[in-house]
A and B are shown apart, each in its own frame.
Chain A
Amino acid sequence: MDSMVRNPDVKQRDAAQAVVVAVSSDAIFTPEVEQVHGATEPLRKGDAFSFMKAIQVVNERLLTLNSDETLLFDVILLSNDSEEKHSRIIASAKHYGLDIGRFCFCNKEDSIESLQSNNVKLFLSTDTNDVCKALQKGVPAALLYHQTDPHHQTEDQLKVVFSGDVIGSSEEMLHGLREQGFTETQLQGFKTAKGSVKEFAILMGEMRRRFGLEGSPLCTGLMTAWSSRDVCASALKTLRGWGLLVDEAFCLAGAPRSPILNLVRPHIICLDGLYHMEGFTAMS
């Protein structure tokens, strides 16, 4: 059972045409260590703040090009918080002027159902465990990358990175992963990631094409973390076939991701579903 509250301060999008994304409230507003009863001041900004600002920039630019544009980002804030916090969340969104279309308040157990019944294209969380769990359950999900450097937050351009390992992968690859000891649960996450990325990539491709090669408020990238260059080439061609011409591409061949990600500074990373799973044991 969920309760959906429309945000009166934000013009409602046409949910059938928009890119509906659900963002966890813990990502937008920093969870409070101590719940103070009756507190009314706005909640503190969370890790997803620069993402929210960047989304706003993209929507504004799209509407500037075409005031009747329906291919816009439509954000649902997903909250599992107690009822007494609901109005505070809504007030905080208003205080910061966030482009949140609807608030969805539900129990943790009902979250998945809420996502599925609201035509959500992508569930976004800063917690890789939440993302992987959602993928395992067949829900399209991606990571909101926590940009650690407060002086270099990207707020004027939304950056979305896709996984070349997922998009360019083959059956043989899955078999290889199995042989290396990845569990069926992890592989299920991988399969969901592969199955769900197409729709989101097509939408991003269409949105990206509204803008020129340079000066776009939306920047797309492909990262191939551990597959070969041929997998990367295959991913580039696949994305192209879906209508998405990515701007940047990185092929790491097993090199550490963090130094590269710290430079790319993406907001959304479509994971491969294999990582940061509970109970994962180190491979020899």
Chain B
Amino acid sequence: MTMYRPNMSEIKPTDPAATNAGEEKDWTASKACSDSLKTEKLKPPKPQNAVTIAVSSRTLFNMDEERKIYEEEGVEKYMAYMNQQEHENEPLMPGVAFPLVKALMTVNSRLRQLYPDSEELFDIVLMTNNHAQVGVRLINSINHYDLTIERFCMTGGKSPIGYLKAYMTNLYLSKDGEKVTEAIEEGIAAATMFASGDVENQLSDTQLKVAFDGDAVLFSDESEIIAKQRGLDKFFEHEQEFENIPLKKGPLKCFLEALGKLQRKFYAKNERMTCPIRTYLVTARSAASSGARVLKTLRSWGLEIDEALFLAGAPKGPLLQMIRPHIFFDDQMFHIEGAKKLGTIAAHVPYGIGQKYHKGELIEQPVKDKK
């Protein structure tokens, strides 16, 4: 059976911008800049070749105190606070996406060792609707932790969604559920991050671990709809009947695909056992009655997942606590809360039928007023 191996540009949510003479000159000039600095800093990859992860300022750094000022005293007071000299030079504390960013950087060093000329790397972009004046403090903080974040967009209050596409973003992480929902509606993998307590020193610093829920994350919510509306028995019946029909893809499928492509670069150099990327499927499905369809779907997509864990309805929290992923994606807040309680860094994917239910009960949807 032939395996489908996509090009990086096929995984990108939009077509790569055609390079023209102007862009080549930008590229040459950027080389001049990085050479002239004579530092260890390496040039960031071209967006169409990289796996682009966009993080908001509040997920990268802990800005709770600052956020409070913004919400209670307004934008002018917030700006005044941020611009004060003593605050500007004060590095911000690491935020919920910080461990993930460090892990991505570790993978990049390993990739550069094996493939010094390749641009198939992670490219981390800071995407914030903060005002540009906050930029100095953000850059100072990035310098303090020596993070390889060279690209950023500070939109001064406007929506960052268009810029996500412009940077060919593979994954967007934010604390703002509305922006995340908008991104998903535009076809960009995205998730809302929550604070989870200080687990940084317990996470692996040599291997990036990413855990995914199955239905409505990697896969569409088609089966979940059946489970919610017609009950578990009907769900099992349906999944067994349709075992050989692949599920449709969900919002995070392309991100798993991008991770898989990077993993295969390690395998190609005989580094399977020491691969610095490991993926997990953590699903409420049970292996016996509904698991086969999931594995067959992944196989039909040519994707591998390192560990598939079927919980048959048991809570996900304790298992995730053992895995200690740098990020865990799930569409249901119930599972996010369970994960958080036991210290896992959890990210909510606001997609599908799961948004209308909480703990199995249908939530009363408030009437949405058009903005």
Which A residues are within 8 Å of any B CB, using their own CB? Answer: 165, 172-173, 175-177, 179-182, 212-214, 219, 221-222, 225-233, 236-237, 240, 245-260, 262-263, 274-276, 280, 282-283
Q: How far apart are A172's CB and chain B's nearest CB, in angstroms?
A: 5
Instruction: Decide: A254 and B44 in contact? CB cutoff 8 A.
Output: yes
Instruction: Decide: A236 and B156 in contact? CB cutoff 8 A.
Output: no
Instruction: Decide: B154 and A177 in contact? CB cutoff 8 A.
Output: no
Q: How far apart are A238's CB and chain B's nearest CB, in angstroms?
A: 11
Instruction: Decide: B151 and A255 in contact? CB cutoff 8 A.
Output: yes
Instruction: Decide: A179 and B32 in contact? CB cutoff 8 A.
Output: yes
Chain B residues, CB < 8 A from A255: 26, 44, 46-47, 151, 167
Chain A residues, CB < 8 A from B31: 180, 254
Chain B residues, CB < 8 A from A182: 29, 32
Q: How far apart are A9's CB and chain B's nearest CB, in angstroms?
A: 35
List 17 interface pairs A-B (beta carbons < 8 Å), by A numbering: A176-B33, A180-B28, A181-B28, A182-B32, A212-B76, A221-B132, A222-B132, A226-B26, A227-B30, A229-B143, A233-B139, A237-B136, A248-B132, A248-B155, A249-B156, A251-B151, A259-B17
| Residues 117-163 of B contacting A (Cβ, < 8 Å) | 131-133, 135-136, 139-140, 142-143, 149-158, 162-163
Chain A residues, CB < 8 A from B151: 251-253, 255
Instruction: Decide: B75 and A214 in contact? CB cutoff 8 A.
Output: yes
Bound-complex Cα distance A265 to B234 (A): 53
Q: Does B3 contact A (CB under 8 A)?
A: no
With A253-B150, A255-B151, A255-B167: A225-B29 Cβ-Cβ less than 8 Å: yes
- Partner among A225, A228, A245, A248 whose Cβ is within 8 Å of the Cβ of B41: A228
Q: Which of B33, B44, B143, B163 has the most CB of A within 10 A?
A: B33
Instruction: Decide: B153 and A236 in contact? CB cutoff 8 A.
Output: no
Instruction: Decide: B37 and A228 in contact? CB cutoff 8 A.
Output: yes
The 4 closest A-B pairs by CB, nearest first: A176-B36, A254-B30, A226-B30, A249-B132
- Partner among B19, B133, B149 whose Cβ is within 8 Å of the Cβ of A236: B133
Q: Does B226 contact A (CB under 8 A)?
A: no
Chain B residues, CB < 8 A from A249: 132, 135, 152-154, 156
Closest residue of A by beta carbon distance from B147 = A229
Additional A-B contact list (4), CB under 8 Å, known A233-B139, A254-B30, A280-B21: A179-B32, A214-B157, A222-B132, A249-B153
Chain A residues, CB < 8 A from B163: 260, 263
Instruction: Decide: B166 and A262 in contact? CB cutoff 8 A.
Output: yes
With A236-B133, A236-B136, A274-B25: A248-B154 Cβ-Cβ less than 8 Å: yes
Chain B residues, CB < 8 A from A250: 152-154
Q: Does B242 contact A (CB under 8 A)?
A: no
Bound-complex Cα distance A219 to B154 (A): 13
- Partner among B23, B33, B136, B162 whose Cβ is within 8 Å of the Cβ of A228: B33
Q: Mark B36-57, 1 if CB is under 8 A from A, else 0.
A: 1100010110110000000000
Q: How far apart are A8's CB and chain B's nearest CB, in angstroms?
A: 39
| Residues 221-262 of B contacting A (Cβ, < 8 Å) | none
With A179-B35, A229-B152, A236-B133: A253-B22 Cβ-Cβ less than 8 Å: no
Bound-complex Cα distance A182 to B46 (A): 21
Chain A residues, CB < 8 A from B267: none
Bound-complex Cα distance A182 to B31 (A): 12
Closest residue of B by beta carbon distance from A272 = B29
Q: Does B355 contact A (CB under 8 A)?
A: no
Q: Does B79 contact A (CB under 8 A)?
A: yes
Q: Does B86 contact A (CB under 8 A)?
A: no
With A228-B37, A236-B133, A263-B166: A254-B152 Cβ-Cβ less than 8 Å: no
Bound-complex Cα distance A282 to B24 (A): 8
With A226-B29, A263-B166: A254-B36 Cβ-Cβ less than 8 Å: no
With A213-B76, A247-B156, A251-B152: A257-B22 Cβ-Cβ less than 8 Å: yes
Bound-complex Cα distance A226 to B28 (A): 8
- Partner among A245, A254, A274 whose Cβ is within 8 Å of the Cβ of B46: A254
Bound-complex Cα distance A181 to B25 (A): 11
Closest residue of A by beta carbon distance from B168 = A259
Chain A residues, CB < 8 A from B167: 255, 259
Chain A residues, CB < 8 A from B46: 254-255
Bound-complex Cα distance A250 to B160 (A): 12
With A229-B152, A240-B133: A256-B47 Cβ-Cβ less than 8 Å: yes
Q: Which of A181, A248, A283 has the most CB of B within 10 A?
A: A248
Chain A residues, CB < 8 A from B135: 232-233, 236, 249
Chain A residues, CB < 8 A from B34: 228
Q: How far apart are A157's CB and chain B's nearest CB, in angstroms?
A: 11
Q: How far apart are A180's CB and chain B's nearest CB, in angstroms?
A: 4
Bound-complex Cα distance A260 to B86 (A): 33
Q: Which of A176, A179, A240, A260 has the most CB of B within 10 A?
A: A176
Closest residue of B by beta carbon distance from A177 = B32
Chain A residues, CB < 8 A from B43: 253-254
With A225-B29, A255-B167: A276-B24 Cβ-Cβ less than 8 Å: no
- Partner among A180, A222, A229, A252 whose Cβ is within 8 Å of the Cβ of B139: A229
Chain B residues, CB < 8 A from A173: 32-33, 36
Q: How far apart are A166's CB and chain B's nearest CB, in angstroms?
A: 11
Instruction: Decide: B143 and A274 in contact? CB cutoff 8 A.
Output: no
Chain B residues, CB < 8 A from A222: 132
Chain A residues, CB < 8 A from B162: 263
